[in-house]
Amino acid sequence: MKLRSMTAIIATTVLSLSMASIPVNALGTPKEQQKLSWAWADGGDRGHRDFSEDDYDTVDELPTINVTISYKSTGSDSSTVATKVNRQVVLEKYSPETKTWSASHITRTDATGVARLRISPLCDDEMSAYPMWCVHTDTYRIRVLKSGTQRPALSSQFVVSFVTSEEDTF
């Protein structure tokens, strides 16, 4: 009987010592979380941007929002490097009426870690047969969806205003 209890004590001691010697990061070092940064393709202000129909011949001439997903390099210089992993990026527009965010444009990052998002100055006017540029202001944010061990990322909100061409008066 004493042999069994002595064996149990030894087994418990060995187990306790082996558990204590397991390193805290036994599952590996945590992966560096990727960072979201963005800028207008033409270098415009990120907080509030105004677009006038007079400045653009077509909607396609509006600058894109270039989103970069990056991480810190493991090299000695600790520089930031664009990710090579394809990530889904969503431009979300805020609705003050419903107090909700909805997807306005969805795309993926390219091989350089950059996604290009487009904004639209067009409104659905029930009186018109096709969408037209209209006066309005929208609040946006950028969301990068979760991917593998990477958490989702979210940008700060920014505002974009659209102004229509002025009518010529004769």
pLDDT at residue 28 tops 60:
no
pLDDT bin (cut points 50, 70, 90) of residue 119 is very high
The structure's pTM equals 0.72
CA neighbor of 91 nearest in space, from 33, 132, 145: 145
Domains of the chain: 33-163 (2.60.40)
Radius of gyration of the chain (CA): 27
Question: Could you tell me where the DSSP H helices lie in 21-138?
Answer: none
* Spatial contact of 144 and 88, defined as CB atoms under 8 Å apart: yes
The arithmetic mean of pLDDT across residues 78-89, rounded, is: 71
Higher pLDDT pick, 77 / 44: 44
Structure tokens at 18: 């082996």
